[in-house]
Amino acid sequence: MTINFDVRRAEPMDAPSMARVHVDTWRETYRGLMSDAVLDDPTLLSWREKFWTAALTDPRYSQNSVAVASHEGTLIGIAMSGPSLDDAEEPRQLYLLYTYAAFHGSGVGAALLNAVLDSTAPAALWVADPNPRAQAFYQKNGFVADGAVKTEDDVRSFRMVRRAQATIDR
């Protein structure tokens, strides 16, 4: 699938659109894994908008890297990384990466990943299980399961890590 898209650093004015992408993609991705009560909560969109507004304006989150992808002027994907939040040895963690299912396989996910994480630096992330599409995407991008598992909001996840990679001179 070839599409034209742009990836850029997220700005505070993006918060409402980022919230919409976040909620829509959660519903696409987690229906059947996460409680319908959570996914269908009428306050979910406003809750996510408050989250994104804070993530993009509060100085406490200044070490985070946040990017958005757009197609024909509409946001189609979001990603955020920051300092590791758990006991992983990797100093950076991918907190989230979501694209609409219609854009899976288009390169948008990889572009967002590379916008928020240095492709040669070590990093960690948590991925829902089961979520074979996302797990394969992260494996393709150098991540491997390290054995850590957790359950939050009734969703089982496992941690994947990417060790430092040497760059190849060509």
Walk along the chain (170 residues) and give the pLDDT tens digit of each residue.
689 999 999 999 999 999 999 999 999 999 999 999 999 999 999 999 999 999 999 999 999 999 999 999 999 999 999 999 988 889 999 999 999 999 999 999 999 999 999 998 999 999 999 999 999 999 999 999 999 999 998 899 999 999 877 554 43
Listing DSSP states for 4-52 in one string gives --EEEE--GGGHHHHHHHHHHHHHHHHBTTB-HHHHT-TTHHHHHHHHH
pTM score, whole prediction: 0.93
What is the Cα–Cα distance from 26 to 131, expressed in whole angstroms?
A: 12
Contact 123, 90 (CB under 8 A): yes
| Distant-in-sequence, close-in-space partners of 158: CB < 8 Å, separation ≥ 6 | 126, 127, 129, 145, 147, 148, 149, 150
Domains of the chain: 6-162 (3.40.630.30)
